[in-house]
Amino acid sequence: MNANPNHNKEKGLIFNIQRFSIHDGPGIRTTVFFKGCPLRCQWCSNPESQDLTPALMVRDIQCRGCGACADACPERAIRMNGDQGRKIEWGRCTRCLRCVDVCLYKSLNICGKYMDAEEIIDEVMKDKDFYRNSGGGVTISGGEPLSQSEFARHLLKACKEKGLHTALDTTAHAPWEKMEKVLPFVDLVLSDVKHLDSREHERTTGVGNELILENLKKVSEMKPVWLRVPLISGFNDSEAYMRQLIRLGREINVEKISLLPYHEGGRSKSEQMGLPYRFPEGKTPSQDRIDLLKAMIEEEGITAAIGN
């Protein structure tokens, strides 16, 4: 079996399956989170999703200081310091994950599991009655699902064979041929718009936005699109910026624009992975500002929402 999940339709690297989701498309949904992403957003709320490999996540609050992990580590990257607790030298850690195998208290965990479509579908179908009654379904998200495009296509096709509504939550930063192969099995496309100025986009995410905007225009000719905006004070919450976003929405005939107020969900996860949080200056816009921007969108005849 090919070990590279980007070229593997049999298994995908998944880091979470969230049931009863109401923020990733219409109705009650199950969201399947893929690992791997071409962007490095400074405010990323799921930093564990970025790499296409299983990751080590540490929850020190559950550590009992038994020292089994330190004994198992071949690189001696883990030290037990008495009252100070466990210390991990992340620079020495090779992510062999042997420490996870011996931890009895779930204070060391693997983020990322290779799953086949049948395993995922079995989980998804547990809530088929809720999808039917609420107009919901399945959303594949990430990370970036198109980082594992062959498996994404395979899974979406399996979902459609079960009669499920499907949504693709994507950065839209992927070669068009990957998107084009997936879209026949997608009912709705959700896409975050980080910033419309390509230089600001590259400064804060590591990539420009030209490919993203080009793909969104193509996608909108084939599928309904919802735009989602990670709304950050002083970054993309001005009225002038919102007018630009509304203009884009009109150009691609967007069905909905969702405002997603900034939160620090990625800070604690970064700490669990031994990474610095790269956006400490991030702030959430005031509720008055959020309400004003939502009203601006609605005044232009576009459906707007906060949080979905």
Average confidence (pLDDT) over 134-152: 97
Say whether pLDDT at 37 is over 90: yes
187 phi/psi in degrees, rounded to 5:
-95, -25
247: enclosing H helix or E strand: helix 239-251
Q: Which two tokens stand for residue 112?
A: 């990322």
SS3 category, 87: strand
Q: What pLDDT is recorded for position 3?
A: 46
Say whether pLDDT at 208 is over 50: yes
Q: Which two tokens stand for residue 247?
A: 């203009």
Q: Which two tokens stand for residue 281?
A: 């200056």
Rounded CA gap, 99 and 78, in Å?
9
Say whether pLDDT at 204 is over 70: yes
In this prediction the pTM is: 0.93
Average pLDDT score over the chain? 95
pLDDT in tens, 273-298: 999 999 999 999 999 999 999 999 99
Rounded CA gap, 223 and 226, in Å?
10
Helices (H), 93-191: 98-102, 117-124, 128-134, 149-161, 176-182
Average confidence (pLDDT) over 114-140: 97
Say whether pLDDT at 219 is over 80: yes
Say whether pLDDT at 266 is over 60: yes
Say whether pLDDT at 6 is over 60: no
Q: For the structural domain made of 55-111, what CATH number should be given?
A: 3.30.70.20
Say whether pLDDT at 32 is over 60: yes
**Domain range annotation of the chain:** 5-52+114-306, 55-111
Q: What pLDDT is recorded for position 9?
A: 74
Question: What homologous superfamily is domain 5-52+114-306 in, according to CATH?
Answer: Aldolase class I (3.20.20.70)
pLDDT in tens, 10-26: 899 999 999 999 999 99
Going by pLDDT thresholds of 50, 70 and 90, the confidence category of residue 59 is: very high
DSSP track, 176-222? HHHHHHHGGG-SEEEEE---SSHHHHHHHHSS-SHHHHHHHHHHHTT
Going by pLDDT thresholds of 50, 70 and 90, the confidence category of residue 1 is: very low
pLDDT in tens, 68-87: 999 999 999 999 988 888 99
